[in-house]
A = this chain, B = another copy of it.
Amino acid sequence: MTKPAIDAATLELWFELGSNYSYLTVMRIEELARRHGVKIIWKPFLLGPIFKSFGWDSSPFVLQKEKGAYTWRDMARQCEKYHLPWTRPSKFPRRTVLPARVALLGADEPWIGAYSKRLMQINFVEDRDIDTPEVVSEVLDGLGLPASDLLGEAQSDENKLRLRKQTDEARRRGVFGAPTFFVRAEMFWGNDRLEDALRLAARIDPKADES
């Protein structure tokens, strides 16, 4: 059977712009993936509907106060370890619907990494809301992109439906948190598994699929 040729080892990055552990990964993954020779497939999605499907009305870091208290201490230490700036957000979790819709439009574009990083910084360093047309425009403008065109397209019924479908796909594949990585069928959960996932992706010979 002929399959389409794959040119590089790939890793799917399922991320949520409001997720603090996704922040650690989004800030680190491009450099690490380059070093491993792995192409990133960017998969923005929404955690809210996934948590709702478990019967939760917020993040586990809010619902379970012991884990929440720990998480903020852990984040401060992890950011120190990775030399990343960090401000504990005064609002958590923040709404991310609009920036996620735009991220979906850009998922296969060269600007997806820079766009995602900038939004993460606004949320987790500058401690500002990100689910407004003003902030998303500010980010797109800063990248030299046509903000009003992209915002219009992001809010189309077709794109709204696409994001719902993408989140449905995450749930169907067993995603229960973010970031989550897939290397083919192999799922890895959490920033702590990024290096393991990249190592596996790099080890798989893409040519093996071409027969």
Contacts and interface: CB of A to CB of B under 8 A. Distances in A.
Contacts of A52: none
Copies of the polypeptide in the assembly:
2
Nearest to A174: B66
Interface residues of A, number: 21
Contact of A176 (B70, B176, B177, B192): B70
Interface of A: 54, 64, 66-67, 69-70, 73-74, 77, 81, 174-177, 186-189, 192-193, 196
Contacts of A70: 174, 176, 187, 189
Contact of A54 (B64, B175, B189): B64
B69 A174 contact: yes
A73 B187 contact: yes
Nearest to A77: B196
Given A74-B189, A81-B196, A189-B74, A176 B67 contact: yes
Contact of A192 (B77, B81, B186, B192): B192
Nearest to A189: B70
Contacts of A193: 74
A161 B54 CA distance: 37
The 4 closest A-B pairs by CB, nearest first: A66-B176, A192-B192, A66-B174, A67-B176
